[in-house]
Each structure stands twice: as C-alpha cells, then as structure tokens.
Amino acid sequence: MNKLSFNKTKKFKMHNIQGVLFSTGSCGFKKKNEKDLVIIQLDKNSKTSAVFTSSKTISEPVKWSKKNINNDIRAIVVNSGNANALTGKKGYDSIKKYINIIAKKINCSVKNILVASTGVIGEQLDYKKINAIVPELLEKSKKKCCSWNSFFQSIMTTDTVPKFASKKIKFGKETVFISGIAKGSGMIHPNMGTLLAFIFTDANIPKNIINKILLDGIQHSFNSITIDGDTSTNDSVFFTATCKKKNVSINSFKNNKYKKFVKQFNNLLLDLAKQIVKDGEGAKKIIKISVKNAKTYLIAKNIALSVANSLLVKTLFNSNELNFGRIFMAIGKSNELIDQEKISFSLGNYLIAKNGVLLIRNSSNKIKQYMNKKELSLEINLNSGKSQATVYTCDLTQEYIKINTNYLS
C-alpha cells in the first residue's frame, strides 16, 4: 500500500491492484516541468469498460477510445495540459504517432491502447514530446510502479487536492481490492464533467458484467454532480478488472458476490464524485440537493439539477442571504409538470417553505449559522409520487471567476 500526501492534505492509504502498473513523467505540456503524462499498463487478461462524455463536441482522444473500447485493452495513456480537442484530423493523427511507439514497446496492437487528455482546448498536441519520454517511462515501470500521488499529479489541471478512494472486500478467505483516482474541478456537469476517473479491481469479472457495473454506478455518482453547468469535450471514466483473483469470480448479476461488490463499488464512485464537488473551482461549500416524492426519477433528477445549476441559488449559498425565493424559481425553470401548491423545502432541519408558501420571511440567526457550514443539505418535497434523486453541487464564488479568467496565463 502507498501512503499519499499532496500539498497539505492528510495522508491516505491506497491499495495497489495486481495487474496494474503505471509510470509518470513530464513531457512539457504544463508549466514548470510538472508531471503531465501517465502510462497505465494492464495485465493481458484484464477487462476494461469505459463511459464517455455525452457532449456533441468531443475531443480526439474520446473518438479514439470510443472506437477501441471493445478490444482487449493493454494500456491507457493519459496526458494533462493539452485536451487535444478542436484539433481535427491532425489531432487524431498525433494520437496514432505516439500510440505506435508505445504499442511496439509493450508488444501489442495500437487497437489495444486507450487514451485520455485534459487541459487547454484548441491547441495541437505535440506527439514528439510524448515520444521523447516513452522509453524512460516504460523502463521505469519495469523496476517499480509509480505512486498513486504521482499518478494524480500527472492528470491534474486546476485541481487543488487529490481525489482518491480505495475499498477492501472480503469474500470468505479471499480479499478483493478496488482503487480509484479522479480529477476534476471545473466544467463539471452531467453527463459527466471535465473529469477523468480510473477505477481498478483485482476481482475476476467478465466484460459484460463490468459494463453494467460501471453504467449503473455513474448514474448516482459522476452523473449526479454539477459545479458550473458546463459539460466537457473530454470526459472519460475507465473501469478495469485485472482478474488476478481467480477465486473471486463475479460472473452473474444475481449472486451475492455481485451485490456485495457493487455496493462497495458504488460507494467508491460516490466518494470520488463528492471529492470533485468539494474541490470545485473556488468552492467554499458543498450542497446536497435531494428531491423526493416525485412522480418519476427523471423528474426528481431534472429538478435537482435545475436547482443545482442556478447561479442565483449557488450565490445564495455563498452569501448566506435568506433569499429563498431563488430556490422556488429554480424548481420552476426545470419545466417539469409539478403542483406548486404541494411544494415544500427544507434547509438542514429548518422548514423554509410549505405547500408553496414561504415560511421564513425575516432574518433568522439559526438558519444563517447553519448556512455558514461547509456542507449543506437542501431537501425539496414535491408531494406528488414516490421517486427521489440526489445531486451534489457547490457554491459560486468570486474565486471561480478569477480562476477561469486567468486559465491560459
């Protein structure tokens, strides 16, 4: 196990996964010679699934990986500092040129390698910079796997803290591990955000099972967070089962092993997703928005996102003003058919509105004290059904504007 520390964050233990090797380095995409490249090598029996951005304008790495995801994957190559988006055929061809070198070195086809990029959109990616350090990185991996901390530094952009999560699951005498790492701080909105995530397990799981586990898992994690309402061109979440623990075979959707594994996997994804929201660009607070008693899950989810993405609601939580009419407004702009006279909502333990009528009109010191907390909970009750959904967001601060008006400088 590796002990992690990054800036002033507390140390955290991550479980290493058999069948996964990664090596990191700097090829010059970021300033000050910071780490900006990681090559993840996977055991030849590994099974990999992935989910990509729903944006209609996608990066060249997403195009490449979507084309090759159904193959047997032997490596994932990730760079930061350059998104390789809005770069056209030249950007796609640059991927071929550095993947060719890596494929030869690890003795596989270019079709067995996936790629991911994050960083500035619109700049051509100089593949020669990657090719220049590939031999060194692959040689390094033969001697020792790099730390998880080094992995994170290689994929971060505006992140200020690392996002790690790790789980240990006992199946009789066998122990299975799941470890995940994610980056993302801005341009975060379902489906998904400018986020990259990599989850690994040593459990023995076939391809069709890991596909379902990942697709189901992201709905209540990465697809239930929003920071600024913008969906990136580069979103990618990868999940690999190295199948090293042969005695822990999760080969059915119905057995208890599947249920036990999925529970821990979903907890890990939600943990990573919440870490991304907490590290939202300029964010001071994380807000859990729950919509309950809706007619359908989709109605609940759309209303939760409508509230979470409202700039007026986000500044409300930052300012601590008791201007709760903004929440009522944001519920309505979802365009969902609702009965406003049945709507109630609470902030923490404080009932703010009931049956479509605001209860809190004057200054309330207790509510203001609650709003000073770093983690807040808003519950909206539609009183119209039995479905519910939860979304996580953050407040909007002047720091967000500062970060995004100086991104290129």
**DSSP character string of 238-302:** EEEEEEEEEEEE---SSSHHHHHHHHHHHHHHHHHHHHHHHT-TT---EEEEEEEEESSHHHHHH
Q: Return the bridge partners of 225, or none.
A: 392
- Topology classification of domain 286-405: Ubiquitin-like (UB roll) (3.10.20)
Q: Give ∠ CA 182-183-188 in degrees, rounded to 5.
A: 110
Peptide bond into 112 cis (omega under 30): no
Q: How far is CA 161 from the centre of its chain?
A: 14
Intervals of CATH 3.60.70.12 along the chain: 2-278
- The helix/strand/coil state of 315 is helix
Please give the Cα distance from 259 to 64 (Å, whole number).
33
What pLDDT was estimated at residue 227? Answer: 64
> Tokens representing 345?
């909502």
User: Domain 2-278 is classified in which CATH homologous superfamily?
Assistant: L-amino peptidase D-ALA esterase/amidase (3.60.70.12)
What pLDDT was estimated at residue 16? Answer: 94
Q: What is the DSSP letter of 389?
A: E
Please identify which residue in the block is written with the tokens 């300012």: 319
What pLDDT was estimated at residue 6? Answer: 42
Count CB atoms within 10 A of the CB of residue 359. 13
Residues in the chain with pLDDT values less than 50? 1-10, 186-193
Q: Which of 24, 53, 87, 194 is catalytic?
A: 194
Intervals of CATH 3.10.20.340 along the chain: 286-405
- The helix/strand/coil state of 18 is coil
What pLDDT was estimated at residue 362? Answer: 55
Q: What is the DSSP letter of 69?
A: T
Q: Is 194 a catalytic residue?
A: yes
What pLDDT was estimated at residue 222? Answer: 82
Please give the Cα distance from 244 to 288 (Å, whole number).
37
- C-alpha distances out from residue 60 to 116, 235, 238, Å: 9, 12, 17
What pLDDT was estimated at residue 186? Answer: 46
| Strand extents, DSSP E, 43-140 | 47-52, 75-82, 113-120
The region that residue 231 occupies, defined by phi over 0 for left and psi between -120 and 50 for alpha, beta otherwise, is beta
